[in-house]
Amino acid sequence: MTISNPYQNALRRLLIDMHIPDWDEKFLREFDPVRAANEAIASGANGVMVYFQSHVGLCNWPTKSGQQHGAFNGTDPMRLLIDTLKQAEIGVCGYYSTMFNTWASNAHPDWQIKPATPPTMGPLPMARYGLCCPNHPEYRAFVREQATEIATNYSIDTFFFDMMWWPAVCLCDHCQSRCESETGAAIPAIVNWNDPAWCAFQTARENWIAEFATELKELVHEVRPGTSIYHNFALAMSNWSKGVSFDSIQGHDFLGGDFYGGRDEQLVISKLMLDLSPGRPTEFMTTIARNLIDHEQLQSEDTLKTQVYGAIGASSAFLMIAAVDPDGQNNPEMLDRSNRVFEQTKLFEPFIGGQPIEDIGVYFSDDSKMNFADNGTPLADMNCGAGTDYPHFEAIKGACNKLSAAHLPFGVLTRQLLDELDQYKVIVLPNVLRMNQAEIDAFRKYVRRGGNLYASRLTSLNMTDGTRNQDFALADVFGCHFTGEADGRQVYCRPASDLVCQSLAPERFLGHRNAPQSMSGAVRIQSGAAETLASLSLPYGYPHEGTTTDQNWASIHSDPPWEHLDEPSIVSNTYGKGRVIFCAADIEAGQSDGCNNLFLGLINHLLDQTPSFRADAHPAVWVNAFWQPKNDRVTLSFLNYQLETPIIPLQDISFEIAPPTGKRFVALHRAPEMEALPFELESNGRLIGTLPLLEDFAMLIAEVKT
């Protein structure tokens, strides 16, 4: 993988993290830019991100528009730092913090965000951060001036703008004015996803962030042509409050961000960025320390290595974040640990890239990063943190984990790919809470043309403008109709077909709990043209929960199935040339064996053919495949992503993979040594092989010819 931009071409990246104030004269006094550059080079990185400024807001260059850090007054450490890196042919990225700027917030109080509710960002100490509003014209002009200074005077390859999101819902005069001008109404005081005014306001917030991101991209491109731009995409999966829409990718040349959500988050975000990013490679970054707020305790070398291999398997770059000490010196073990990890992982870099092989597309709805349970809540009472605390994400995460554990080829698609749906053999709509007409039309046409669709729960019931339909907008495609949402705390799917019976066996029913805050649940449906695959069973006394003084329960601890209805809970329908399975419960969000087995049984039924690749491996193994037409080869990677340490090696993993159209397999090698491995070819050209040993990561190269 070769890109003209040196930083983008770098797959091993390091961030010298410097959020240090200057009220103590000892702060950053020991920072030596030449030494820092040489230590970064010794870390094994071939791309380095350097701080021109930080959340503190002080500038590390002799600025004309802001205030320089006291430790650097009258000097230009950034020029020495960058020149030293460039002499070693290291790609350089410049860091700049938007919205989070304590100096600017203190110097210009009128620039501050006026939060509707106290800002929260996980464990971060929010009282330390000065938060500026991107709708304030003076603050916006200030950021443009600072970015122009940097891009004009320093030979950086890439520009990274951090914190490109809303730290809080802002009620300042400028936000109020823009809202009234663009939506025709004031900022609503009540959260209501069935209120057109609230939905219009949220759309406006997202548009304002996308607009600012694009404005800065265009500015830097104009001032320093050839520079690539990206903004921190870390909160793209978070709930609505941060306002990071997938449309904001127009402000990026490629996607990247810092992530701390562990294995599940890395799986979903890597797949999401791979198919959404305007350019590749994407970037996965995280701290060498255990997290952002722990300065001394480090992640284990094995954990870091697994995360890097996770990025490599998704053809992504990896950035290590190394926080400096307050005096400006580096923790030597951080950089040594980075070097030891990169020395092992860099061997696979020549083999990454290409087109991901994905039979199944899990749809991530940008407009469904919310929860109808919040309807009616005063905005002032909302917890506007950065979590993925919404039902749609629970269903996405569950679907991705199940497909990954079954080693089925899948990706994560968004509305940016609505014109390319036919590339997927099956599409999963996991409890898509809000849809627009373009999405509805696209999925209807996809099925009519012969596509296969799985959908669950509230999918297509609510529109993005706040309208709640009387029936599913895709009812004709689903072959069933919405009659209401399930009450009570437990409902059951009861097999009514061999498919569901065999998928669930030896279990008799699939229980589905209506969890608090509607994070999981079910709807009631009636069948139209569809075939019933499973029927609905209800507990004794449904929908009452039961008390000591009533008789609305049959077992004191649990809610066993009792009333067996003819009402369907899972249906199968033929529409045009395609097929659809609709499930009244979002079973993909469930974490039981029954949920896993039934969801995979339904998906395999829709797939109705041998997948492009498959493997017989432990569920913890991540398998990815890429077609590289320029090299006439398919790469197949295996990551042993066990959460327990030490990782248990796995032996004799059998796998098979289909050749690209018009090609035949001629050789199989194990990278990076390129030792030959035996394989067999089926009559249809599929390659069958065995990976003898998987310790942490393995990559196989299957060569093809016409």
Contact of 550 with 424, CB cutoff 8 Å:
no
E strand segments, 439-516: 452-456, 480-485, 490-495, 510-513
Ranges of residues in the chain with a pLDDT under 70 are 1-3, 516-518
E strand segments, 212-253: 228-231
Q: Is the dihedral of CA 379, 382, 384, 388 positive or negative?
A: negative
Question: Does the domain spanning 6-353 belong to CATH 3.20.20.80?
Answer: yes
Contact of 657 with 690, CB cutoff 8 Å:
no
Please name the amino acid found at residue 426.
Answer: V
pTM (predicted TM-score): 0.97
CATH architecture of the domain formed by 360-483+523-533+568-607: 3-Layer(aba) Sandwich (3.40)
**What CA–CA distance (Å, rounded) separates 223 from 15?**
24
Which residue, 618, 42, 63, 76, is CA-closest to 332?
42
pLDDT single digits (tens) 543-557: 999 999 999 999 999
What was the pLDDT predicted at 3?
63
SS percent in the chain: helix, strand, coil, step 5: 35, 25, 40
- Domain map (residue ranges) of the chain: 6-353, 360-483+523-533+568-607, 613-705
What was the pLDDT predicted at 1?
45
Superfamily of domain 613-705: Golgi alpha-mannosidase II (2.60.40.1180)
**What CA–CA distance (Å, rounded) separates 292 from 261?**
12
What was the pLDDT predicted at 74?
87
E strand segments, 554-631: 561-575, 578-583, 613-616, 621-628
**What CA–CA distance (Å, rounded) separates 270 from 313?**
9
Task: Give the helix ranges, DSSP H, for 184-284.
Answer: 196-223, 262-276
